[in-house]
Amino acid sequence: MDEMDKRTDLIGLSQAELVGFVQQIGEPAYRGRQIFAAVQHRRLRSFDEMSDLPKALRERLRETATASTLTVESRYLSEDGTRRFLMKTHDNFPVETVFIPEERRDTICFSSQSGCPLQCTFCLTAQLGLLRSLTPGEIVEQIIIALNDAYGVGERPPRGTNLVGMGAGEPFLNFDSLLQATRIMADPQGLFIVPHRVTVSTAGVVPRIRELATIPDRPNLAISLAAPTDELRDVLMPINKKWPLEELLGACREFEQTLKAGERFTFEYVMLDGINDSDEQARQLANLLNRHDLHAKVNLIPHNPADPLPYQPSPATRVEMFKGILESKGIHTFVRRPRGRDIFAACGQLAAVTQTVGLGANSQRG
Ligand code: SF4
């Protein structure tokens, strides 16, 4: 165990938990609220910067706690403005985060695990295997680092922030930490990024989809499909062998029935040239969703090629044809524009790679 392991990561505590923590070390409750605001609202990552706290308290905090556990190893800037951060945990595991500026609001794509245990064959992250799941503090700190880098420490994002859990890892295999992070970030005295601004993408961990259906303040859900048949999905996303399409879409139907106003539910479909993009497959996909009475929209994501993955992106005309067939069968369909491909920041490219080829945190969500 290193020194960091023994100290409490304050970024992973809710406001109420932080109040409890300071009371335990003999401080009044308001100090907990003050520290929560310093960490989550002013986005300060060192006790030295919290000059409104008494010096003696800062000393004690340094011994028992930390306000930062991630370090940024590299930062890449794409020509389209996307930023990719390659970070390390205190115990040296890679974490990748991507900041994507958009006209109406910015999006931060965060990782839920270092590496990923699932074996999606179109995803570079899969090649890392699972290194370890991230703590709630490590999830929240990715957002703090990206916001500070884009706007300056503690500066308010001018356009608001959307979060997507589509970086490295399967969020639903780190479910409790994900939900704890979501609760912390929703606090109006902190980052104040509410759950309906957060979307998490799962490869199809059915029991957690069912659990999410029972949770009131939950993030939006996206399901990575990638194939319209079990035969093909077994190959592209081997998790399908555990929870095949019938079971997955049954759980999706149950989830969809619990949707409330303002909540979003989508399917993601990575487009792989000659693999899953034929007219016949578009019809199969439409029939599959219609048969399960699902009304969620489908996002088509052109594959982001990355050596040594054996796939190429579908040509734009093919994507348009596929979209046309889905729409003719009543499926709302959008084509997602790839961002940050030049810096390995696009979907499916996260494998903690340093610039030219790297292991980064660009997982490919299909
Ligand atoms: S696509 Fe997502 S779930 Fe699949 S291996 Fe990559 S990171 Fe894991």
Residue type, 265: F
What pLDDT score does 365 carry?
A: 42
What pLDDT score does 84 carry?
A: 93
Task: Please give the share of the chain, as a percent, with pLDDT higher than 70.
Answer: 91
Ligand 1 centre distance from Cα of residue 306 (Å):
14
Token pair for 161: 């922030």
Least confident of 154-163, 169-178, 234-243, 302-311: 302-311
Whose tokens are 């970030």? That residue is 185
What pLDDT score does 354 carry?
A: 56
Q: In ligand 1, which atom is closest to the CA atom of 122? A: 1
Distance CA 256, CA 248 (A): 12
What pLDDT score does 304 carry?
A: 83
Using the predicted structure, report yes or no on whether residue 366 has a pLDDT greater than 60. Answer: no
Q: In the predicted model, what is the mean pLDDT of residues 323-327?
A: 98
Residue 354 CB partners (closer than 8 Å, separation 6+): 74, 86, 360
Q: In the predicted model, what is the mean pLDDT of residues 182-187?
A: 97
Using the predicted structure, report yes or no on whether residue 318 has a pLDDT greater than 70. Answer: yes
Ligand 1 centre distance from Cα of residue 352 (Å):
14
Mean pLDDT of the chain: 91
Distance CA 107, CA 114 (A): 20
Using the predicted structure, report yes or no on whether residue 361 has a pLDDT greater than 70. Answer: no
Using the predicted structure, report yes or no on whether residue 97 has a pLDDT greater than 80. Answer: yes
Using the predicted structure, report yes or no on whether residue 355 has a pLDDT greater than 50. Answer: no
Q: In the predicted model, what is the mean pLDDT of residues 108-136?
A: 94
What pLDDT score does 350 carry?
A: 64
What pLDDT score does 357 carry?
A: 35
Ligand 1 centre distance from Cα of residue 70 (Å):
22
Using the predicted structure, report yes or no on whether residue 193 has a pLDDT greater than 60. Answer: yes
Least confident of 136-150, 178-192, 207-221, 340-354: 340-354
Q: In ligand 1, which atom is closest to the CA atom of 202? A: 3
Using the predicted structure, report yes or no on whether residue 359 has a pLDDT greater than 60. Answer: no
Report residues whose beta carbon is within 6 angstroms of any ligand 1 atom: 116, 118, 120, 123, 125-126, 168-170, 203, 363-365
What pLDDT score does 309 carry?
A: 85
Active site residues: 96, 347
Task: Please give the share of the chain, as a percent, with pLDDT higher than 90.
Answer: 80
What pLDDT score does 306 carry?
A: 78
- At 166, is the pLDDT very low, low, confident or very high (cuts 50, 70, 90)? very high
What pLDDT score does 360 carry?
A: 36
Q: Report the alpha-carbon angle 144-224-163, nearest 5.
A: 15
Distance CA 361, CA 345 (A): 7
